[in-house]
Structure 1
Amino acid sequence: MVDLSKEKLELDYPCNWTYKLVVLEKINIKRTVKDVVLEREHTVIESKTSAKGKFKSYTLELLVHNEDDRKTLFEVLGEHDDIKMVI
């Protein structure tokens, strides 16, 4: 198996970046995402619903300006009470 943990991701910024979000089914995803990204232009697309219908996943795409921006968004999304997982 190849260990990629020491490899640095090479990206040309700014670029579009995609996050996968998992939330409880009842969550208003548009409001939740707006809490984090504020007025930044973004797209949210529903992906899947869990087998029992308790969770939904969404794809969030937006422009990130640099590596710090990309990582900060990942952290802030993950800290939001309504978001159970960010990938």
Structure 2
Amino acid sequence: MVNICDLNKEPIINYPTFWDYKVVVEADTDILEIFNNIFNEREFKYKLSNTSKEGKYKSYLLSVYVDSKADRLNIFNQLKNQTKFIL
């Protein structure tokens, strides 16, 4: 059984680790250009995850090696500023 109080706690994440993001962009967006601008020479992997029914959007699964919580959140914020939606 889950204690409701435990749901309000931040999860324990052991850094460094690979972190996955789900990135959604408009279909005509050059996703590799966005990733290269954010990560420069940093290693990352990505693959097409899904295309919307109407073909207007594409989603990608992005995996990046992060060093810390601050690093993880910094990447999230950069992606948020350059993409349609991020999880």
| TM-score > 0.5, shorter chain as reference | yes
Please point out which of 49, 70, 76 is paired with 1:74. 76
CA RMSD of aligned residues (A): 1.5
Cα offset, 1:24, TM superposition = 0.5
The answer to whether structure 1 residue 41 and structure 2 residue 15 are counterparts is no
- Superposed, 1:1-87 pairs within 5 Å as 2=4, 4=7, 6-80=8-82, 83-87=83-87
Cα offset, 1:52, TM superposition = 0.2
Gaps of at least 5 residues in structure 2 are: none
Normalised by the size of structure 1, how large is the TM-score? 0.90
Task: Give a deviation string over 1:46-69, Cα, whole Å, max 9, x none.
Answer: 000001000000011010000000
Give the partner amino acid of 2:9: E
Gaps of at least 5 residues in structure 1 are: none
Q: How many residues in Structure 1 have an aligned counterpart in Structure 2?
A: 84
Normalised by the size of structure 2, how large is the TM-score? 0.90
Write 1 or 2 for the structure with the bigger share of helix.
Answer: 2
**Deviant stretches of 4+, over 3 Å:** none
